[in-house]
Amino acid sequence: MDPIVIIGGGIAGATCAKVFSLDNPAFDVILISASPVVKMVANLRTIGRSIDIFDVIEQNSSALENINLKVLHNNVILLDSKKRTVTLDNGSVIKYSKLAICTGAKPKMIPMQNDINVKRFIKCIRDTETAKDFQSILSTSKRIIIVGNGGIATELVYEVSGCEIVWAIKDNNFGATFFDSVVSKFFSDFLKEDPASKSDQITKRHHFTVNQAESEQKNEFGVALGPDWHNGFSMIGKSQKNVVIEKCCQISNIYRDVASIPTEKSSHIVKSTDQDNWNVYVELSTGQIYGCDMVISATGVLPNSQVFTENNTFTLGADKALLVDNEMRTSIEHIYAAGDVCAAGWPLAAHWFQMRLWTQARQMGFYAAKCISAHIHKTSPELYFNFDVFTHVTRFFGLRVILLGLYNGQGLPLEDCSIQCRVTAKKELIKVVLRNGSMQGAVLIGETDFEETFEKLIYNQFDLSRFGEHLLDDVVDVEDFFD
């Protein structure tokens, strides 16, 4: 039988390769990765049904190899799904019996003109190479503009110190991918903090790099950085930290210098006390023009599917993600996909939705391995399907953040919902979304210890009406539900 081939050495691909090869020692497995390091999960702890807490480690790809698992450090440049082959950048052609595509995603860039003098100051952060590039410009920067309102932008605004940050967001509150206005307000005090003064703080998760030289190799398809990517980098600019949030706006233009700004707009340039000459000038849809040393584009990612979709007719989801069914199969026979490159195409459970995160990349890579196994052995992988309640554990502003279910009431008719919230300033926030008396989602910030209970409440849809508005006063009684 031809080998099982997995493409991508990120969390999804590496997990899929490892799980499949361990479960099926009699089968040959080939993992092909454009990046020299692979990302692995370590110290996995699962709380409740599916709240995963883990470290992400980078390893030399050879560390993953075992008797039936071989790792190739190559780019896949062609897929021929009829012949069941992939072609590598060194010209070799590999035949597969089953293929799993786990090639992740690449950052979306803000639209800009092709001026090289503008382009070199627009950065994104995806891998070690781009992070070093960012760090190098930051070290001489007095003002940077961060565009985007997701996790990476929020993390950057907190981690960068010694620099004025203009944070351009399209929403009315910051961090809107994860926070509503209540949570955003809770965190607003932290924006003034300078993390450089809190060196004793616990890091997000441990981060190990086995071979620094290899992990720094330049690569078009670098593996996405680990959660503590900033720990190895100096995140300090050349002035004082100050954060200005520009809400409900987008970038409408970027100018290479003052001379390129139309005269009628020159009065819109926001003055700075000690600098007139900036690398680029950014015009926001509000009309204001900010000069800055660098623009960071953190506006989301696009699935890395192009090399496969060019010559093969996959059914695609939004942004050309490879659509997969409830057993991680794409629309082409024998081809699976997992992680950031895929779109969940099954009828979603009421409290789960897809987000391009570590947690889901791991879950999907694991489940894809179980599905491939089950299809070969003609069994059902149903037992391993674990996409019922959305869960995500992370850290923002130095605090643990756990998001469960429809934590922002995503997709719910808000007139039917109520929200209960308990806040201890700068320490803890508990927010729950309720509908018809049962819990739909929750945000837990700080060390609350309620995650397991709340996940069960969301999964089982217990009627909590009897607690009325006092649900969060009586969480201990709520926990008795399960005794």
Binding residues (CB under 6 A) for ligand FAD: these are 7-13, 32-35, 39, 75-76, 102-104, 125-126, 151-152, 221, 223-225, 227, 229, 304, 307, 339-340, 356-359, 361, 394
Nearer to ligand FAD, 281 or 314 (CB): 314
Question: Shortest Cβ distance from residue 359 to ligand FAD (Å)?
Answer: 6
Sequence-separated (6 or more) residues with CB below 8 Å from residue 12: 102, 104, 338, 339, 340, 341, 361, 362, 364, 365, 368
Question: Shortest Cβ distance from residue 387 to ligand FAD (Å)?
Answer: 15
Question: Shortest Cβ distance from residue 121 to ligand FAD (Å)?
Answer: 19
* Spatial separation of the C-alpha atoms in residues 385 and 367, rounded to whole Å: 7
Nearer to ligand FAD, 33 or 373 (CB): 33
Question: Shortest Cβ distance from residue 415 to ligand FAD (Å)?
Answer: 32
Nearer to ligand FAD, 392 or 431 (CB): 392
- Edge-first strand listing for the sheet containing 428-435: 391-396, 399-405, 438-445, 428-435, 417-424
Question: Is the four-CA dihedral 464, 470, 475, 479 of positive or negative sign?
Answer: negative
Nearer to ligand FAD, 289 or 338 (CB): 338
Nearer to ligand FAD, 152 or 430 (CB): 152
Token representation of residue 218: 């330049």
Nearer to ligand FAD, 78 or 374 (CB): 78
Nearer to ligand FAD, 12 or 282 (CB): 12
Nearest to 335 by CA among 368, 363, 306: 368
Sequence letter at residue 205: R
- The answer to whether the CB of 178 falls within 8 A of the CB of 154 is yes
**Interstrand relation of 242-246 and 335-337 (parallel, antiparallel or unpaired):** unpaired
* Spatial separation of the C-alpha atoms in residues 441 and 409, rounded to whole Å: 7
Nearest to 155 by CA among 78, 230, 52: 230
Question: Shortest Cβ distance from residue 41 to ligand FAD (Å)?
Answer: 11
Nearer to ligand FAD, 76 or 343 (CB): 76
* Spatial separation of the C-alpha atoms in residues 137 and 123, rounded to whole Å: 10
- The answer to whether the CB of 44 falls within 8 A of the CB of 56 is no
Q: How many CA atoms lie within 13 A of 27 on its CB side?
A: 24
Nearer to ligand FAD, 9 or 162 (CB): 9
Question: Shortest Cβ distance from residue 297 to ligand FAD (Å)?
Answer: 12
Question: Shortest Cβ distance from residue 301 to ligand FAD (Å)?
Answer: 7
- DSSP for 175-223 reads TTTT--HHHHHHHHGGGG--GGG-TTSPPSS-EEES-HHHHT---TTPP
Nearer to ligand FAD, 7 or 284 (CB): 7
Question: Shortest Cβ distance from residue 182 to ligand FAD (Å)?
Answer: 22
Give the number of other CB atoms < 10 A from CB of residue 117.
11
Question: Shortest Cβ distance from residue 482 to ligand FAD (Å)?
Answer: 28
Nearer to ligand FAD, 3 or 339 (CB): 339
Question: Shortest Cβ distance from residue 478 to ligand FAD (Å)?
Answer: 28
Angle at 251 between CA 249 and CA 252, to 5 degrees: 110
Question: Shortest Cβ distance from residue 313 to ligand FAD (Å)?
Answer: 19
* Spatial separation of the C-alpha atoms in residues 128 and 233, rounded to whole Å: 10
Question: Shortest Cβ distance from residue 375 to ligand FAD (Å)?
Answer: 21
* Spatial separation of the C-alpha atoms in residues 458 and 464, rounded to whole Å: 11
Of all helices (H) and strands (E), which one includes residue 118?
helix 116-119
* Spatial separation of the C-alpha atoms in residues 344 and 342, rounded to whole Å: 7
Nearer to ligand FAD, 284 or 443 (CB): 443
* Spatial separation of the C-alpha atoms in residues 284 and 268, rounded to whole Å: 10
Nearer to ligand FAD, 225 or 254 (CB): 225
- The answer to whether the CB of 434 falls within 8 A of the CB of 419 is yes
Question: Shortest Cβ distance from residue 264 to ligand FAD (Å)?
Answer: 38
Secondary structure of 12-53 as H, E, C letters = HHHHHHHHHHHHCCCCCEEEECCCCEEEEEEEEEEECCCEEE
